[in-house]
Structure 1
Amino acid sequence: MKIRTKFIISLILLVLLPAIFTLFITNNFLSENFNFVHFFDTYYDIFDNFSNISADFENYVDPYNNSPEYFLTENFQKDALDHFSSTFLSVEVKDNSIVQFTTYNDEIENLSFLERLLFRSMTTDQPKIQYALNHHHYEIPGTGTIDVMLKIDSSRLEVAYKGFEKVFFFLYGAFNLLLLTILLAWISNPIKRAIRRLTYTTNEIRRGNLNSKLSYEDEDDFHDLAKSIESMRQSLANSMEKQHILELEKKELIANISHDLRTPITSIRGYVQGLKDGVARTEETQREYLETIDSKTYMIESLLNDLFDITRFDTNSIKLNKQVVNLKDFLTDCVDELERDVAKIGGKLSLHFIIKDTQIHVDPEKLMRVFINVIENSIKYRSNKPLEVIILANQDDDGVFINISDNGIGVTDEDLTKIFDRFFRSDLSRNLDIKGSGIGLSICREIIASHGGKISASGNDSNGLTISLRLKAYDENIH
């Protein structure tokens, strides 16, 4: 529950519950539940049944109106003590204005401890005032007068009222304090628990423990914060994992390139030494040596370019210089640029362009690099048959797609989803001892993704590999 909702509920309860408590307390609650304090019990009885008490006394006295001498007997005195005597009420009988009998008792030793405590603390300066609640006056010929009175002690009523007032406000304060404590605990405890959980997780993250998952199911004000912290933790964990993988990949890259550089450098040194020593005496032999040195130098240059490119992608420093180019013209240039490399190994590169004029918004240099890497991959992983590479371009509602298919050794279904991973080399290439850094196709994926396109791989009918590129067609209305 939201904190704001809890505060609203708390404010409503702080208004309603004390009012309900006040009604509950004043509705004879003290009389029924605090009857061990007779002040309260009798105080309520008198004021709730004022007329009833007077009527009861009247009914008791009426039968003896014709024989008022009864009020001087011990039987009346006993009945008066049993039925009409209390802390606040007393029965008094006067004979010729002289008090013959009264149930009033100034002693309070028979009261409870709490009653005595209240009484003594509040009656020090309290005047003793009594009022006749019911008065019967009898004239007896030849004898005089007899007065029978039911008296109420207003001073003790005042004591009871003050005692009630103190207890009421004590209970009222205690109730409100308890209510406030409960409401504050209801509001603050979830907050403290949430803060403890969030603090624990953030401290674990600070210590470097990114596996401490924050599970927060409460739909309160901290829910979004908890989600953000958990998302941050996952991002940091993924980043650390990616960084760890990247470090391993870099080590593997250095090892692979070091191994791949050693072979062409050794060959170059051998052929150079042969030229220096005069081993290649004929012009044809010298040309062969120089061509070999040139090809090995190109291999070294390609490896260094791969290393440079992967470094740029890691640091996110790659920038695109996009231009609007004609797709057919671009692909024709690609074929002109790459068909000599394919022809060198006795292969053939062909272009099939189904649509006529289609514009794309790309960086021509970077996109050319994609085709170079893919074609080099086809050359590297060719089979014993003459290599055939077919580039097919078409267009649909989603843009343009280009398939680059070869009849090489292909890739297993399991490896199809991995060939764009950095430094991945299939088992077939390893078995055939094909050299390579394993980053050419991963660079292709980065370049196509930076253009907002997609790249995928699949097998084909020639048992080779098909690389599919999808790019958006240029729309001058959008740009």
Structure 2
Amino acid sequence: MGDQQFKRSYRFAFFSSLYITLFLSAFLLLIEYIFFEINWQSLLIFTIVCYVLAFLVIQLRIEHFIYKRVKAVYDSVTLLDSSLLQEERVTTDMATLTKEVEKFARDKKIEIEGLRVRENYRKEFMGNVSHELKTPLFTVQGYILTLLDGALKDKKVRKKYLKRASKGVDRLLYIVNDLDMITKLEAGDLHLYKEDFDIIEVIKNVFELLEMKAEKKEISLNFDKNYSSIFVNADKERIQQVLTNLIVNSIKYGKKSGTTELSIEDLDSGKVLIRITDNGEGIDEEHIPRLFERFYRVDKSGSRQEGGSGLGLSIVKHIIEAHDEKIYVESDFGVGSEFSFTIKKAKDTREAETSIEDQVV
């Protein structure tokens, strides 16, 4: 291994010095042979000194040459910090230089692939935004133009079309508000107001708000068992929004006469895990990694007919992550889906549990 390293690192200097030494020694030997008496001892000393000096000079000059040239290349590439190139790391060892170049190439390839992914995501996002906004805009425009073309005089038609135009405007506001919220969440401008509250009470409120929506599809909203009060510490309004979005999603993609069941699991880490489970359509495995992207829809046509901004799950993910918590999804196509997220228990609740455990011990 040492011999291979030696050959790889100093091969050029070794053979160059050897050729120079042999040439000069032969030349000196010829001079002494012609004009003087040959002194083998001095010739040997000259050969050794000549080789050592030649080796050192060639090696140092090559190192300096390579360092200057490679550093110039690094300096010319503005994306790479030239300070990464340290003088002691630049030698005649071509393997070292090759590794540096390969590392640079890998880093740039990863960076380019990342930029390409972001560019594709940007194009897709802009296309989705355009589509989502155009639909209600064209709806509103169509009704207004119809009224301007003469339908304005008919009171029944006027009232009907104005109501429909109003619904289109409401949808536009809904999308814009969701976009504004997700922008603030991503920028970290949306501040959380954490407090202790009863999560069971919040879930019951959400059930009541969505009761009529669930009844239209004959979907029952229920707990897996009877729960007493469970206090958690979080932003109450935002967690209610998370629960609303997830339950609306389960209703939207649920089967007629199906169920949406909510369960709460106590975790040892001072948190609870809230599960929203349904027996609806389910999600193909290929869609799950992109499920929380903005405007990403599993069913492009059906989901738009159901309404919504296409930002619900993305908002849910950002709110949960803003609480430093995790959200999970499990789904079997044709069987159903389960969304779950963690949330921190209230401090008083944790202290009470600890006290009870101490008493038992």
TM-score normalised according to structure 1 size: 0.50
Partner of 2:191: 319
Judging changes above 3 Å, is the alpha-carbon distance between structure 1 residues 352 and 234 closer, same or farther for their aligned structure 2 residues? same
Match of residue 156, structure 2, among 279, 300, 307:
279
The runs of 5 or more residues in structure 2 that have no matched partner are 1-5, 11-20, 82-92, 352-361
Q: Identify the range of structure 1 (427-436 vs 388-397) with the bigger mean alpha-carbon deviation.
A: 427-436
Cα contact 2:182–2:318 (8 A) shared by 1? no
CA contact (8 A) 2:140 2:166 kept: no
CA distance in 1, matches of 2:110, 2:263: 42
Correspondence list, 1:202-281, <5 A: 202=77, 231=107, 234-235=110-111, 237-239=113-115, 241-263=117-139, 266=142, 277-279=154-156
Shift, 1:232, TM fit: 7.2
1:92-171 equivalences in 2 (<5 Å): none
- Partner AA of 1:321 in structure 2: Y
Match of 2:246 in 1: 374
User: Taking structure 1 as reference, are residues 292 and 417 closer, same or farther at Cα in structure 2, changes over 3 Å only?
Assistant: same
Does residue 181 (structure 1) correspond to residue 38 (structure 2)? The answer is no
User: How has the CA–CA distance of structure 1 residues 180 and 336 changed in structure 2, closer, same or farther, with 3 Å as cutoff?
Assistant: same
**How far off is 1:324 after superposition?**
3.6
Q: Within 5 Å, which residues of 2 pair with 1:341-356?
A: 341-343=213-215, 346-352=218-224, 356=228
Counterpart CA distance in 1 for 2:229 and 2:185 is 32
Q: Distance in 1 between matches of 2:39 and 2:57?
A: 34
1:458 to 324, 330, 335: 330
How far apart are residue 196 of structure 1 and its match? 5.5
What is the 5 A alignment of 1:278-427?
A: 278-279=155-156, 298-313=170-185, 315-343=187-215, 346-352=218-224, 356=228, 358-383=230-255, 385-386=256-257, 388-398=259-269, 399-427=271-299
| Larger RCO: 1 or 2 (CA < 8 Å, sep 6+) | 2
Q: Is residue 321 of structure 2 the alignment partner of residue 449 of structure 1? A: yes
SS in 2 for 1:182: helix
Query: What are the equivalent positions in structure 2 for 1:81-92 lying under 5 Å apart?
Result: none
Q: Which amino acid aligns with 1:415?
A: H
Deviations 1:364-393 (A, max 9, x none): 22222222222232333343x235322211
Residues 279/32 of structure 1: CA separation in 2 closer, same or farther (3 Å cut): closer
1:36 and 2:65 are equivalent in the alignment: no
8 Å CA contact 1:325–1:361 kept in 2: the answer is yes
Q: Tell me, which stretches of 5 or more residues in structure 1 are unaligned?
A: 1-5, 11-20, 26-30, 45-163, 207-216
Match of 1:389, SS state, is strand
Task: Summarize the Cα distance change of 1:220–1:320 in structure 2 as closer, same or farther, 3 Å threshold.
Answer: farther
Q: CA deviation at 1:446?
A: 2.0
Q: Give 1:249 deviation, angstroms.
A: 0.9
Residues 257, 437 of structure 1: 8 Å contact kept? no
Distance 1:233 1:319 in 2: 37
Which letter maps to 1:255?
H
- For normalisation by structure 2, the TM-score amounts to 0.64
- Cα RMSD (Å): 5.1
Deviates more, 1:456-465 or 1:434-443: 456-465
Larger Rg: 1
Aligned-residue offset at 1:295: 5.6
Change (3 A) 1:352 1:267: farther
Counterpart-to-counterpart distance in 1, 2:101 and 2:39: 61
